[in-house]
Amino acid sequence: MPEYLSTAPVKGTRDFLPAEMSVRTQVFGHLYEVLERYGFLRYDGPVLEPAEIYERKSGQEIADQQLYTLTTRGGERLALRPEMTPSVARMIAGHAKSLSFPVRWYSHPNCHRYERPQRGRVREHWQINADIFGSESANCEIEMFELIHDLMGALGASPDLFAVRVNDRNLLSSALTDVAGVAPELLPQVFALVDRWEKTPVEDLAAAGAEIGLADKEFEKLSETLGAGAALLDELPAEVKAESNLVKVLSSSAASLVRYEPLIVRGLAYYTSTVFEVFDTSPKNRRALFGGGRYADLASLFTKERIPGIGFGMGDVTLIDFLDTHGLTPQPRNEVDVMVIPVAEELADPAREVAASLRKAGLRTSTPLELRKLGKELTRADKAGAAAVVIVGEEDWAAGAVTVRSLATREQRQVPLAEVAAAVNGLISPS
């Protein structure tokens, strides 16, 4: 017996059969439409990049634990992209002289991270990336939050189903040093601790705090500070708040779109001020769906020109989980609208002629690839979700007509060739 290879996809990757692909096409099609209504232009880039750009810009977790790397025959060390932001920073820097800033760009790349597969996490995923480059204005933050609400709304999500939780790393630094009394040299370790705050038992957090040098009273003060919520802003120095775009957002008409949350940090190293995460509010799926933030100079690896930006990445896994949780996942589209069936082999060419006219009219149309009995073809058309079949018979064709049959009512009638598309459309979208 031959030894067959496994039909399973590589661990952490997924196959998308036509029904699943139909759902994804609908979901992401809605998102593309919203992004382009805001003036975002779509771009793409290579899946392989120099490993160095992730090791220097994406943060230790990705660089040390999640990066897929390879060495070429020429000795060049490359990586499969784990995210898109360093790539787009390279592209922006390389074409900065020809761009009119600010620019709005979006993409839908597939990304690869070597991590433990679990609910919401796989090793290959697709994500919508949206970025604004070349402006430090708080209007960028406001537009991002408006965009997020419109993207979620386009998928059928009302504002009560999700929450946009926001913070500013500069505000958090001030809160940790000026209010909680954390020593400045401990800030990187405490940031990492805060990033795990909601996912880790308090005794484990206290133990981790002790390991980085926080005494019991200092940990208690840290807990009190982080638990203050929006009231924490009142305790921060005025000069720190004056420099924060987030404070400007919170005093604008966009304040209702977001919720200030001191616990939002974002683990990626390139975020410098505003950070945000979108959370599912359902108890069945209470988790972060996607997030992003502002970077003061992500392009600094590639150019001396300072190019600020803000953006987010919306992953497909958590997004589909969200839609499933709330009953918002669209149904797969039917395979075709109509099937054209010849009753004899010599009528195959006429059937293709009719099918071509229906496709020109915008109808998704197929014809049999092998001649079978009419009953079997009607069953096949029904399973394909067709609303109608067009039967090409010898006598009808000789008379310049075909028979149009509704698969819902089983009613049929002879229709002149010039009226076939209108007759089928009437069955698909009855007035």
321 and 220, same domain (yes or no): yes
Mean pLDDT in residue range 57-80? 83
177 annotated among ligand-binding-site residues: no
What pLDDT does residue 58 have? 62
CA distance 133 to 117: 33
In a domain, 228, yes or no: yes
294-345 confidence digits (pLDDT tens) = 998 878 888 888 999 999 999 999 999 999 999 999 999 999 999 999 999 9
Please state, in angstroms and as integers, the Cα–Cα distance from residue 125 to each residue in 12, 14, 58, 81, 228, following that order. Answer: 9, 9, 17, 11, 36
- Domain CATH for 189: 3.30.930.10
Give yes or no: residues 205 and 73 share one domain: yes
203 has a pLDDT exceeding 60: yes
The answer to whether residues 125 and 102 belong to one domain is yes
Question: Is 83 annotated in some ligand binding site?
Answer: yes
Please indicate, yes or no, if residue 5 is contained in any of the structural domains: no
Same domain, 423 and 275: no
Q: Is 127 annotated as a binding residue?
A: yes
Is 60 exceeded by the pLDDT of residue 204?
Answer: yes
- Give the range of the structural domain holding residue 406, as residue numbers without chain letter: 338-428
138 class by beta-carbon count within 10 Å (0-12 exposed, 13-18 middle, 19+ buried): buried
Does 287 map to a domain? Answer: yes
Q: 325, 351, 374: which is the final residue of a domain?
A: 325
Residues 306, 352: one domain? Answer: no
Does the annotation list 56 as a binding residue? Answer: no
Of the residues 290, 325, 360, the one at which a domain ends: 325
Q: Is 43 annotated as a binding residue?
A: no
Residue 276 to residue 298: CA distance in whole angstroms:
17
- Whether residues 271 and 392 share a domain: the answer is no
Domain match, 223 and 357 both: no
Instruction: CATH number of the domain at 406, please.
Output: 3.40.50.800
Count of beta carbons in the 10 Å neighbourhood of residue 155: 20
> Is 195 in the same domain as 314?
yes
Q: Select from 325, 349, 375 the last residue of a domain.
A: 325
Confidence at residue 59, expressed as pLDDT on a 0 to 100 scale: 59
pTM of the model: 0.90
Residue 3 in any domain: the answer is no
**R_g of the chain computed on alpha carbons:** 28
Is residue 7 in some structural domain? no
Average pLDDT over residues 131-155: 97
20 is in an annotated binding site: no
On whether residue 9 sits in a domain, the answer given is no
Residue 330 located in a structural domain: no
Of 217, 208, 220, 250, the residue nearest 233 (C-alpha): 250
- Residue 354 shares a structural domain with residue 305: no
- Give the number of domains in the chain: 2
pLDDT digits (tens, 9 = 90+) for 145-198: 999 999 999 999 999 999 999 999 999 999 999 999 999 999 989 999 999 999
Q: Check residue 61 and give its pLDDT.
A: 63
What value does the mean pLDDT of the chain take?
93
Q: Is residue 168 part of an annotated ligand binding site?
A: no
Predicted pLDDT at 376? 95
Beta bridge partners of 42: 106
Residues 249 and 354 in one domain: no
429: pLDDT confidence band, cut at 50, 70 and 90?
A: confident
Is 29 domain-assigned?
A: yes
Residues 6+ apart with CB under 8 A from 90: 45, 49, 53, 299, 301, 302
How far is it, in rounded angstroms, from Cα 421 to Cα 244?
60
Together in a domain, 241 and 367: no
> What is the pLDDT, as a whole number, of residue 78?
95
Answer yes or no: do 304 and 370 share one domain: no
